[in-house]
Amino acid sequence: MSQTTTNTATAQLQLNAGTIHHSLSDVVKTEDWSDFEFTPIRESTVSRAMTRRYFQDMDKFAVSDVVIIGAGSSGLSAAYVIAKNRPDLKIAIIESNVAPGGGAWLGGQLFSAMIMRKPAHLFLNDLGIQYEDEGDYVVVKHAALFTSTVLSKVLEFPNVKLFNATAVEDLVTRPAGPNGEVSAAGVVTNWTLVAMAHDLQSCMDPNVIELSGYKDDGTRDESKKHGVILSTTGHDGPFGAFTAKRIVTIDSKKNLGGMKGLDMNRAEAAVVKESGAYDGVNSVYFAGMESATLHGLNRMGPTFGAMAVSGIKAAEEILKHFAE
């Protein structure tokens, strides 16, 4: 390497070092940041700021038009479509984990890339997520890119509230006809840590989120559209397939199908087609792998197109319900 080249490279490095700029460049005036300070605050101010807003949200969403159980890829995809099309609907998302996103932070076997078969790439286009086009399928460089993007877009909608670290323990139900018909009227909630510790205490009663469409005395208000529950809690697990397992005890005509073995080609289309309204209990919808557990479908393994598209299909049905 010539001396001229070396001098040029050194000069470029010095130039680059001298042009570092970030959001705090105009605040910090010393090289060692010795002049940096935060604005002063009381600890109680922080507590009140959090508490006030959370309980305002609990009050606002105590009656919701749409309750989505599970903030994985299906639930978040559905929430995005519903909120984007109907900013007037109140949408509460209940997630048992502290971190939303379900299993969509990684691909298969803890690998990074997320595979989606076409035409699921059209949803990625809608979200503005880049991918590698491999012909029949696309690859997002890291599953977390998909999950963080759809999550951030959902949370930006003013009509959406995510209650994470919150478990759904049961369904609120109402009679819906003369022959034993049942309609879901809300969800029974509790802090997840409380739900996990019921065997350790004598009584830890829950809370509820009620669906819209009822009068103050609890009777049906026929002048208002009935709210809905969309359950996307995944395949069977500690909190997985919750609504599927509960609903077969409410609907005596239905048995839990149980998820079948892995078959990508059969599974993905089947999950999408079986997602949507549940016939046995009014106002309940399913999407994602919970549909596979409910209806006895194959699992698809580490390909995520059906997760997003089943949420979109269920969202479309819900939007049609509110448009009728």
Annotated binding site for substrate: 74, 95-96, 103, 168, 205, 235, 289, 299-301
Q: Which of these, 272, 281, 221, lies nearest to 247 by C-alpha position? A: 281
Place of tokens 């001298």: 18
CB 255 within 8 A of CB 248: yes
Q: Which residues does the annotation place in the binding site?
A: 74, 95-96, 103, 168, 205, 235, 289, 299-301
CB 230 within 8 A of CB 66: yes
For residues 135-156, b (16+ Cβ closer than 10 Å) or e, as one string? eebbebebbbbbbebbbebbbe
CB 187 within 8 A of CB 94: yes
CB 311 within 8 A of CB 74: yes
CB 206 within 8 A of CB 180: no
